[in-house]
Structure 1
Amino acid sequence: MGPAGDARVKIILPPELPASQITPEPVYRARRQLMGLGLASPLLALAGCAGADDGGDAAAPGAPAGAGAAGGGAEELTRFEDATSYNNFYEFGTAKTDPARYASSLEPAPWSVVVGGEAELTGTFPLEDLLAITAAQDRTYRLRCVEGWSMVIPWQGLPLGEVLRHFKPTSRAKYVAFTTLADPRQMPGLRYPSINWPYREGLRIDEAMHPLALLATGMYGKPLPNQNGAPLRLVVPWKYGFKSIKSIIRIDFTEAMPPTSWNQLQPEEYGFYSNVNPDVDHPRWSQRSERRIAGTASKLFAERIPTLPFNGYGEQVAGLYAGMDLRKWF
Structure 2
Amino acid sequence: MHYHRERGFEHRISSEITDPAQYAARRQWLREAGLLATAAVAGGMGVAGVAHAQATGTPGARKLAASKSRVLGASSSEAQTSYRDATRYNNFYEFGTGKDDPFRHAGRLRTSPWTVRIEGAVHKPVTLGIEDLLKLAPLEQRVYRLRCVEGWSMVIPWVGYSLSSLLRRVEPTGSARFVEFVTLADAKQMPGLRSSVLEWPYVEGLRLDEAMHPLTLLALGMYGEVLPAQNGAPVRLVVPWKYGFKSAKSLVRIRLTEQMPRTAWNKVAPNEYGFYSNVNPSVPHPRWSQATERRIGDSLWTPRRKTQLFNGYAPQVASLYTGMDLTKNF
TM-score by length of 1: 0.79
Secondary structure at the residue paired with 1:152? strand
TM-superposed deviation, 1:110: 1.3
1:152 and 2:164 are equivalent in the alignment = no
2:46 partner letter: R
Gapped regions of structure 2 (runs ≥ 5): 6-37, 50-56, 67-71
What is the aligned partner in structure 2 of residue 221 from structure 1? 224
CA 1:26–1:209 in 2, change beyond 3 Å: closer, same or farther?
Answer: farther
Q: Which amino acid aligns with 1:234?
A: L
Q: One-letter code of the match for 2:231?
A: N
Q: Choose from 236, 251, 257 the match for 1:254.
A: 257
Residue identity in the other structure for 1:161? S
Q: Would you say 1:239 and 2:242 are equivalent positions?
A: yes
Q: Is the 8 A contact 1:292 1:302 kept in 2?
A: no
**Cα separation, 2, equivalents of 1:29 and 1:191:** 40
1:140 partner SS:
strand
CA shift in 2, pair 1:101/1:72, >3 Å: closer
Q: 1:31 and 1:205 mapped to 2: Cα distance? A: 35
Instruction: Give the corresponding residue for 1:310.
Output: 310
What is the CA–CA distance in structure 2 between the aligned matches of 1:281 and 1:154, rounded to whole Å?
28
Contact 2:181–2:255 (CA under 8 A) maintained in structure 1: yes
Q: 5 Å matches for 1:279-294?
A: 279-294=282-297
| Unaligned 5+ runs, structure 1 | 6-23, 37-52, 55-59, 64-68
Q: Counterpart of 1:83 in 2: which secondary structure?
A: helix
Shift, 1:4, TM fit: 6.4
Q: Which region of structure 1 is more displaced relative to structure 2, 116-125 or 138-147?
A: 116-125
Change (3 A) 1:129 1:267: same
1:328 maps to which residue?
328
Larger mean Cα displacement after TM superposition, 119-128 or 284-293: 119-128
Within the alignment, does 1:25 sit opposite 2:39 as a pair? yes
SS where residue 100 of structure 1 aligns?
A: helix
Distance 1:26 1:274, change over 3 A: farther
Which of residues 134, 138, 148 is equivalent to 1:135? 138
Structure 1 residue 76, shift from structure 2 partner: 1.1
TM-score normalised per structure 2: 0.79
Could you tell me which amino acid in structure 1 is paired with residue 259 of structure 2? A
How far has the Cα of 1:185 moved from its partner?
A: 0.4
Q: Aligned partners of 2:277, 2:40: CA distance in 1, in Å?
A: 31
Identity of aligned residues (%): 56
State the shift of 1:268 in Å: 0.2
Taking the aligned partners of 1:61 and 1:159, their CA distance within structure 2 comes to: 16
Aligned counterparts of 2:208 and 2:290: Cα–Cα separation in 1:
26
Answer yes or no: is the 8 Å Cα contact 2:178–2:258 preserved in 1.
yes
1:94 aligns with 2:108: no
Q: Deviations over 1:51-92 (max 9, x none)?
A: xx99xxxxx9999xxxxx959983111111000000100000
CA 1:313 to 1:110, structure 2 compared with 1: closer, same or farther past 3 Å?
same
1:302 deviates by 4.5
Q: CA RMSD in A?
A: 2.9
* Worse-matched range after superposition: 129-138 or 157-166: 129-138
Instruction: Summarize deviations over 1:207-235 as a string: whole Å, max 9, x none.
Output: 00000010111111111000000000100
CA contact (8 A) 2:64 2:226 kept: no
| Structure 2 CA distance for aligned equivalents of residues 227 and 33 of structure 1 | 21
Pick from 106, 110, 118: which aligns with 1:107? 110
Give the match's secondary structure for 1:326: coil
SS at match of 1:143: strand
Moved more, 69-78 or 254-263: 69-78
- What is the number of residues matched between the two proteins? 283
Matches of residues 260-299 of structure 1 in structure 2 within 5 Å?
A: 260-295=263-298, 299=299
Q: Hey, what's the Cα distance between the residues in 2 that align with 1:283 and 1:265?
A: 14
The 5-angstrom pairing of residues 21-60 of structure 1 reads 25=39, 27=41, 32=46
Q: For 1:220, give the aligned amino acid.
A: Y
Per-residue CA shift, 1:260-308, capped at 9, x if unaligned?
Answer: 000111000000000000000000000000001133xxx5784310000
